[in-house]
Amino acid sequence: MSDKFFQTYHQIMYPPKGSTSRFNYIKKDCYPYPDIGTLILHTLLYSERSGMTKVLIKKILLSIELFLKLYQDAISSKTNEKFKLPSLYSIYEYTIDLKRDIPVLPMKVVKIPKNNKEIPAYINLPSAYLKNLLCNPLYSKSIIAIPDKTPDKMISLNQCKKWVNSELFKCRCYTFKQFDYWAGEIYSLIMEEVSTGFLVDSFYKYNNDILVNGYYIYQLNTKWPIVSHILISINLNTLTNTYINKLNINQYLSYINGQYKQISNNISDLLLDNIPGKVKIPNYIGSPNKYYPLQIAPLTLFTDDMNGSSHKNNCYETITLQFPGSHYHDGITPNNIFFVAGVQKSKGLKAIDLIPTIVDDLLMLEKGIQVYSINEKKIITVIAPLLWINADNPAHNNICSLKSTNANYPCHKCLIRLFTCHWGNSNTTQLQCLDYYLNSNLHRTKNEYSYVAQLFNSNTNPDEITYFSDFSYKKSVATELLKLKSFDPSIDTPVEILHTLCLGIIKDVTHYAFDTCKENGIPLEIIDKAIANFKSINNFTPNL
């Protein structure tokens, strides 16, 4: 090392043998410099080919001061955090990463026919977001969740009834200790006889444990194996990673009430590997039955104000996307809301015009797509069923292909009838007795929605069309949503509490107060003054 700085570095870092202290060794050899630090900085600044300047030396001194402060904070911290200097290699790699191109979501252009011309609209498809987020280490874990049947608490949406019970949301594959356990496979049990196996149906979470739904398989005195007809749950830890070869489907029997019977259709589907999303890895070297790991990433959509005004503060209709697999607190943050599309009302467009294109993408996600996961470090299959569509009441009516909210049967869940009367230039709902609203009414069903949609699109029976039109049904492109197995308009359209319970009640009570004052001869100026004061609140101005 000819350079003076490197000689000094080597002298300090590698003192001669027998020296008890690196500090004491170099301290006596720093003459004519007052201390070791001055010696180091002098050799750094004035050594051969250093290329150093006083400004750069100043930055280095400030950096050293910062590192010493961080080191002291780490020592005094109660969290036992260790301070570690970054390597030069990591800094170089970070600089290179900054120069790389950031992936951009592929945008789909849709041309919507309006007024004898085609108007372009731009959509960020849900599948594009899914592929991007699974490659992001900050999101790849949070958007994946298995059903959680932990009792007496509700802290995430994977504990809701649909997520827990629906076939589309079942977890059919779970990776434990780098081994993929699959539904439809038979595994041997720990601490059991070799002749006993367990046919896996699905996985779910219970408290902090992973449990497995399935059926015991016994080899009794019969020639053929007996499959228990009762679905039971066991802990995943009780399964080994040893497969038991499956026999022909006709060789399995069930023993029910003292009689041998054929196995049920559910068990047959499992033994035949009729598992949605179970896809073999092509050209895989090794086991012939190697499959892509399967994970479930449900999603929700939100749209609003489909029938709202088009003034300058409300000139767009938008559709957004959320992945509800995370905790409630994380799920409602803006970082978990993703923009899908927006259309301009002044051009005559509505968000509902984009539904057919979005449905095509959701159908593909229901069947499953192969995508790289940064969490698994490999390609996996992901199924993303639709959990629900959140919206206000006017938007929900459009989504469900129903008439406006002032129709005779405005509810998208049941067939309750509202009675209206004309008052001035508007229609006012006539309030009925409380029992009328509390009594159960006929529920709308997906089968009914599908039948009416088929009827309206065929236009073959005008009388029947008129009949269902009286129940507030209408023809709409939103019927494309009925193609989704995961979406039921009568169930998966949660009511927006703000509009229904707050603004809706305020509006109805105000109209009721007007009617009462008019009937009893009370001056309306009292209510006018109260409404004027109410509308003056900037953050809360409903249309009364």
Rounded to whole angstroms, the Cα distance separating 177 from 175 reads 7
Query: What six digits make up the tokens of 52?
Result: 């150093």
Q: What's the distance, CA 265 to chain centroid?
A: 32
Handedness of CA 83, 87, 88, 90 (dihedral sign): negative
Strands 173-176 and 179-182: antiparallel
Residues β-bridged to residue 339: 320
Handedness of CA 34, 40, 41, 42 (dihedral sign): positive
In tens digits, the chain (544 residues) has pLDDT values of 446 666 666 666 666 666 555 555 455 566 677 777 777 777 777 776 667 788 888 888 888 888 888 888 888 876 666 777 777 777 777 767 666 655 678 889 988 888 888 888 899 999 999 999 998 888 888 899 999 999 887 878 888 899 999 999 999 999 998 889 999 999 988 876 555 789 999 999 998 899 999 999 987 666 788 888 899 999 999 998 888 888 888 888 888 887 888 888 888 988 888 888 998 888 766 655 688 999 999 999 998 754 444 444 567 888 999 998 877 666 667 788 899 998 887 777 888 899 999 999 999 999 999 999 988 889 999 999 999 998 887 888 889 999 887 788 888 888 888 877 665 555 666 777 878 877 888 899 999 999 999 998 887 788 888 888 888 899 899 999 999 999 999 999 887 666 566 666 777 777 778 778 877 777 777 777 777 766 655 444 444 4
Q: What's the distance, CA 215 to chain centroid?
A: 31
Strands 316-322 and 299-303: antiparallel
Q: What is the CATH number of domain 173-275?
A: 2.30.30.490
Residue-level pLDDT at 346: 75
Among 139, 172, 165, smallest CA distance to 368 is for 172
Residue-level pLDDT at 421: 66
N-to-C CA span, the chain? 85
Interhelix angle 462-470/446-458, rounded to 10 degrees, is 140
Among 126, 111, 106, smallest CA distance to 349 is for 111
Residue-level pLDDT at 522: 75
Among 139, 141, 145, smallest CA distance to 158 is for 145
Q: Where are the domains of the chain?
A: 4-98, 173-275, 501-535
